[in-house]
Homo-oligomer: A and B are copies of this chain.
Amino acid sequence: MDFKRLRYALAVADEGNFVRAAERVSISQPALSRAVQALEEELGFLLFDRGNRNVAVTVAGAAFFNHARRLLFDVRNMEHDLDMLRNGDSGRVAFGIGPLHSGALLPRMLRQVRAEQPGIIMSVSINNSNYLLDHLRAEDMEFFMSDVRLIEAAEDLIITHECRQYGGIYCRPGHPLLARPDITPPELLPYGMAAPTIPDVLMVQMNKLFRLPPGRDLPVVLSCDSVHTLVDVVAECDLLLISSHAALAEAAELGRLVQVPVALPPLWADIATIRLRGRTLSPGAQRVLQTARAVLSQLAGTEMPRQ
C-alpha cells in the first residue's frame, strides 16, 4: 500500500484515461499502467474495466476510491499542517517568563507573535524562577526568560544571556526630592518604594546598594507586577518607583514620571533564555524566541540614558 500508487490510480479514475492520467501525475503512460496493475494485484480485485476507447471504474473500484480519496485528502491536510509546523506557523509553544520582565517585554512580544505567527497557540507562565525551572525540567515548557542571576548554572541547562537592561529610580514630576541637590540613597527611603516583584537574591543586592544595615530590607511598600498600575500610582503620590528604563520609556516620554538623579551604582537586569540541553526547540518556539530577541533589542534602543 503506497501513497504514490493511490495517487496514480485516482488520476486514472478521475481522467477515465491512462494517457491523460499519466501526464497529470507526470510519469510515462506504461509506468502508470504497470503501477495500476500492481495495485490491482495487491488488492486482489480489478479497479478498472479497460474498454477500447474508455476506462471504467468497477463497482469494487468505486468503493476503493472512496477510501483512497479520503485518505489522500487527509495526507494533503497533514502535509499542509506539517509545512506550518516546519515554519513555526502553527503548533503550541509553551514558555515562561519572570514577573520582572512580564511588564515591558512580554506584552510587546505577545503582540508581535500574534501578528507574525497567528497560527501559534501560546501558553505563557509568569512565575518565579524556581517554578519555571521545575516546569522546564518537566518539559511543560520549551524555554523561559529570567534574570540570569536567579539561575544557577547546571549540566542540563543551556543559559543564553540575551541582554542587560538598566534601570533606575523614578518619581512624579514635582516630587519634593527633585528640589534637593546631590541626592543620596538614604534620602529616598522615607518616601517608600514601589517595584515589580523583586526576588530575594536581588533584594539582598539592592539592600547593599542602598547601604542598609543587615537585616533591614528596602521599604518596598507597593509590589505589583503590572507596570501600568505602578505608573498610575506613582504618578499621583510621592512613592518612588524602581524599574527598568525600558518599562518606563513611554511614561517618561509623556512626562508622567522622571528619573531621580541619585548617586547610585547602576541597577540592571541580565535577561537570559534558559532551555534544556539536548532538547530541540520546536520551529514555533524558535521563532517566538527570535521575536523575543527582536523586542529586546528594540527596548535597548529606547533605553533611556542613565543620568
Footprint of B on A, CB under 8 Å?
Answer: 1-3, 43-46, 49, 51, 56, 58-60, 63-64, 67-68, 70-71, 74-75, 78-79, 81-82, 85-86, 91-92, 142, 278-285
Contact = CB atoms under 8 A, between A and B. Distances in A.
Contacts of A44: 86, 283
Nearest to A93: B59
Contacts of A279: 49, 56, 58
Contact of A71 (B64, B78, B91, B142): B78
14 contacts: A1-B3, A1-B75, A2-B3, A45-B86, A45-B282, A45-B283, A58-B282, A59-B282, A60-B282, A60-B284, A63-B85, A63-B91, A67-B81, A68-B78
The secondary-structure label for the interface of chain A is helix
Given A59-B92, A59-B142, A59-B281, 13 more contacts: A1-B79, A44-B283, A45-B282, A51-B278, A58-B279, A59-B280, A59-B282, A60-B91, A60-B280, A60-B282, A63-B91, A70-B74, A71-B78
Contacts of A3: 1-3
Contacts of A59: 91-92, 142, 280-282, 285
A224 B191 CA distance: 109
A81 B56 CA distance: 22
